[in-house]
C-alpha cells in the first residue's frame, strides 16, 4: 500500500527513479513504480533527490542571523573573543529568537536534523540552554535538534562549570561538551575526568571542541580514544575540528587514526578556510567516521555561513581537493548519512525502510550538486513538503 508517490526524479548517481512513501518511510525507490490511481502523485520535474541534510555542528545561541549586520571585531586572544561575543550578544534579540531564525533558514535549505552546541558556564548558567530548548520545542517534528552542553569558557578555569554541565544534561542536553583540555584548561586529565564522568554518570554522549594543533592535539586525541574504549562509549563520542590531524606526518596520523577507529570516536569538520584540517580520505581508510557541520554562522567568531549543508559539502570538497564523483560523494555523505550516524539517527538515506526525508533540487547528479550547489530546494520530511511552524 503506497500513500504518496514521487515521480520523475534522479538518484545521486544520475539514474531516473520514482519514490513511494508510506507512513513517512520509503517503501520503494525504483523506476516506474506502479500505484493505484487514487495515490497522490508528486512530479519532481526531473529534479535530483538527496537525503535530507544533517548539520553535525552548529551554534544556535551565537548567530546574528536576522539581526542588523554586526561587523567582525578583532580580538587578541580567546578570552578577548569571549568578551567581544558577550558584548555583541547583549545588543541583539534573545537567543530563542535568533536560534529560531537560523533553524528556519537551515530547514528551508534542507536540514532536518542538527547537533547544536550551546554555551553553558558558571556565569551564563543554563540561560542559553533554556532559550535554545524553547526554539527546539517549536521545531519538534520538523527539525530534530540535539543539544551539547558546551563549556565555551573552559571547565577548570571557570569554577562552577562542571556542576552546570551536569545540570544541563539533567535538564535536556543529550551531549556533554568539552574544549581544548590542555590549552584552555591547563590539565587534560582533569578536564576529561569531568567530561567523561558526566557522560558515564548520566548516559550522555560526548562532543569535544579540539583546536589544539600538532602533536599536543594528537596526544589529546589518543587520550580521548583511550577513555572512550575504556568506558565502552564507542559510537557516542565525537571530536569537533581536531585540526591537529591536518598538522602531522603520516606515521603519527595513521597511529591516531587507528586509535580513533578502534575506539569509535567520530571526527567533525567544517573545512576551515585558512588552516589545515583533518585529511578526510586517509582517516576514512582507517575506518574513522567523518561528518560535517556548519559551525559558526554569522556570529562574533566569524561572518561566514548561511546554514546550507550542501554548500558545506562543497567547501569540504573544495578544501580537500575532491574532484572525482566518488570523492564528491564522500563530502555529500558527511552532510547527510554519515552525520546522521554520528548523531545516532537511524534509518536515514535514500533506501527502502528509511525515513522519507529528502531534498529535491535542480541538478543532474549528486556530484554536480556538491560541485555547484543550486539555490532552489524542495524539502520533504516524512514524505510531506516542509511546513514551517507558525
State the residues that interact with a copy of itself by CB under 8 A.
Answer: 14, 68-69, 71-72, 74, 273-274, 298, 302-306, 314-315, 317-321, 323-325, 328, 364-365, 367-368, 371-372, 375
Q: How far is the CB of 37 from a copy of itself (least distance, A)?
A: 34
How many angstroms separate the CA atoms of 22 and 172, rounded?
A: 31
Q: How far is the CB of 264 from a copy of itself (least distance, A)?
A: 29
| The 16-22 sheet, strands edge to edge | 25-30, 16-22, 4-10, 41-51, 358-361, 378-381, 384-385
How many angstroms separate the CA atoms of 348 and 331, rounded?
A: 16
**In this complex, which beta carbon is closest to a copy of itself, that of residue 134 or of residue 306?**
306
The three-point CA angle 357-293-143 to 5° equals 35
**In this complex, which beta carbon is closest to a copy of itself, that of residue 125 or of residue 304?**
304
Q: How far is the CB of 68 from a copy of itself (least distance, A)?
A: 7
Q: Which residue bears the cell 583546536?
A: 211
Q: How far is the CB of 162 from a copy of itself (least distance, A)?
A: 32
Q: How far is the CB of 242 from a copy of itself (least distance, A)?
A: 18
Q: How far is the CB of 327 from a copy of itself (least distance, A)?
A: 9
**In this complex, which beta carbon is closest to a copy of itself, that of residue 138 or of residue 318?**
318
**In this complex, which beta carbon is closest to a copy of itself, that of residue 13 or of residue 163?**
13
Q: Please check whether residue 51 is in contact with residue 345, taking contact to mean a CB–CB distance below 8 angstroms.
A: no
Q: Rounded to 5 degrees, what are φ and ψ at 149?
A: -75, 105
Q: How far is the CB of 147 from a copy of itself (least distance, A)?
A: 24
Angle between helices 127-138 and 161-171 in degrees, nearest 10: 20
Q: How far is the CB of 273 from a copy of itself (least distance, A)?
A: 4
Q: How far is the CB of 108 from a copy of itself (least distance, A)?
A: 12
Alpha-carbon Rg of the chain, whole angstroms?
Answer: 21
Q: Which residue bears the cell 513504480?
A: 33
- 117's CB contacts (< 8 A; 6+ apart) are 57, 58, 59, 147, 148, 150, 177, 207, 209, 240
Instruction: Write the CA distances from 9 to 25, 93, 310, 337, 379, integer angstroms.
Output: 17, 41, 18, 20, 14
The helix or strand, by DSSP H or E, that contains position 353, with its residue range, turns out to be: none
DSSP string, 60-129: TTT--TTSPP------SSHHHHHHHHHHHHTTS--HHHHHHHHHHHHHHTTEEEEEEEEE-BTTTBTHHH
**In this complex, which beta carbon is closest to a copy of itself, that of residue 154 or of residue 366?**
366
C-alpha dihedral, 83 to 87 to 93 to 95, nearest 10°: 10
**In this complex, which beta carbon is closest to a copy of itself, that of residue 5 or of residue 292?**
292
Amino acid at each position: 500500500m503506497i500513500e504518496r508517490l514521487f515521480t520523475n526524479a534522479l538518484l545521486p548517481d544520475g539514474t531516473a527513479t520514482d519514490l513511494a512513501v508510506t507512513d513517512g518511510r520509503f517503501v520503494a525507490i525504483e523506476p516506474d513504480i506502479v500505484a493505484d490511481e487514487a495515490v497522490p502523485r508528486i512530479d519532481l520535474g526531473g529534479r535530483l533527490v538527496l537525503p535530507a541534510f544533517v548539520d553535525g555542528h552548529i551554534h544556535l545561541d551565537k548567530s546574528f542571523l536576522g539581526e542588523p549586520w554586526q561587523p567582525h571585531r578583532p580580538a587578541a586572544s580567546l578570552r578577548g573573543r569571549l568578551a567581544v561575543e558577550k558584548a555583541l550578544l547583549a545588543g541583539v534579540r534573545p537567543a530563542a529568537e535568533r536560534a529560531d531564525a537560523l533553524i528556519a533558514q537551515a530547514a528551508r535549505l534542507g536540514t532536518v536534523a542538527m547537533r547544536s552546541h550551546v554555551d553553558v558556564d558558571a556565569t551564563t548558567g543554563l540561560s542559553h540552554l533554556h532559550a535554545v530548548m524553547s526554539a527546539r520545542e517549536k521545531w519538534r517534528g520538523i527539525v530534530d535538534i540535539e543539544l551539547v552542553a558546551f563549556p565555551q569558557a573552559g571547565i577548570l578555569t571557570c569554577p562552577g562549570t562542571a556542576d552546570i554541565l551536569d545540570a544541563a544534561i539533567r535538564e535536556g542536553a543529550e551531549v556533554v561538551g568539552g574544549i581544548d583540555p590542555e590549552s584552555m584548561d591547563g590539565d587534560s586529565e582533569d578536564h576529561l575526568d569531568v567530561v567523561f564522568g558526566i557522560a558515564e554518570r548520566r548516559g550522555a554522549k560526548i562532543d569535544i571542541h579540539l583546536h589544539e594543533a600538532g602533536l599536543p592535539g594528537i596526544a589529546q586525541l589518543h587520550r580521548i580514544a583511550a577513555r572512550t574504549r575504556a568506558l565502552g562509549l564507542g559510537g557516542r563520542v565525537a571530536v569537533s575540528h581536531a585540526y591537529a590531524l591536518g598538522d602531522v606526518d603520516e606515521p603519527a596520523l595513521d597511529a591516531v587514526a587507528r586509535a580513533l577507529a578502534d575506539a569509535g570516536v567520530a571526527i567533525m569538520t567544517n573545512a576551515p578556510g585558512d588552516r589545515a584540517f583533518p585529511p578526510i580520505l586517509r582517516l576514512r581508510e582507517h575506518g574513522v567516521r567523518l561528518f560535517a557541520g556548519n559551525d559558526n554562522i554569522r556570529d562574533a567568531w566569524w561572518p561566514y555561513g548561511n546554514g546550507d549543508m550542501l554548500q558545506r559539502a562543497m567547501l569540504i570538497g573544495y578544501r580537500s581537493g575532491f574532484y572525482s564523483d566518488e570523492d564528491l560523494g564522500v563530502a555529500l555523505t558527511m552532510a547527510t548519512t554519515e552525520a546522521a550516524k554520528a548523531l545516532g539517527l537511524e534509518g536515514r538515506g535514500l533506501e527502502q525502510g528509511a525515513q522519507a526525508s529528502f531534498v529535491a533540487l535542480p541538478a543532474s547528479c549528486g556530484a554536480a550538486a556538491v560541485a555547484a550547489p543550486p539555490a532552489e530546494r524542495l524539502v520533504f520530511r516524512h514524505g510531506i513538503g516542509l511546513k514551517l511552524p507558525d
